[in-house]
Amino acid sequence: MRTRTLPRRTSVTAATLLLAALPLTGCSGDGAGSYCAAVTSAQAQWNHAGATLADPAAAARLVAAVRTVEANAPSEVRGDWTSLRSLFEKFTVPRTDLAALTRQMRSYETSAKRVETHARETCGVDLGR
């Protein structure tokens, strides 16, 4: 049986491609890294959301932070982040109808609890403080 050897250039190229692919495959299984980084980055704004939502400009910054988390969120909580972002967007305009929003808040509580639990369990970040 004859074995065929690859020319040196081909084997070096193959080894280079294999080594280059290793970090990529290692990251693909850990989607939590970018999600957790986004959650950590948004933590301060999330913890002060009550005060933030009183100021349309600050609310817009919170929306931007939540949008980043939402984009990186795993599928099991992405819809909850989307729901909360849509709520926070309502505070980015002056003279928000707070009475109407207060009535709607209950429907967002479940989403808030889910993202807080998920962030704590997945990333070790406590958004509930």
The residue extents of the domains of the chain are: 32-123
Quote the CA–CA distance of 127 and 41 in Å, as a whole number: 11
* Angle between helix 32-47 and helix 98-123 axes, rounded to 10 deg: 140
Find the mean pLDDT for residues 88-113.
82
Is 70 exceeded by the pLDDT of residue 111?
Answer: yes
Is 90 exceeded by the pLDDT of residue 2?
Answer: no
pTM recorded for the entire structure: 0.69
Between 38 and 7, residue with greater pLDDT:
38
Q: In the structure, what pLDDT confidence band is assigned to residue 31 with cuts at 50, 70 and 90?
A: low
pLDDT at 64: 94
pLDDT at 16: 28
Measured in degrees and rounded to the nearest 5, phi and psi for residue 90 equal -70, -20
Is 90 exceeded by the pLDDT of residue 5?
Answer: no
Between 36 and 100, residue with greater pLDDT:
36
Quote the CA–CA distance of 78 and 71 in Å, as a whole number: 8
Residue 88 corresponds to which tokens in the numbers above?
A: 């926070």
Find the mean pLDDT for residues 32-53.
84
Residues 15, 19, 23: CA angle, nearest 5 degrees: 165
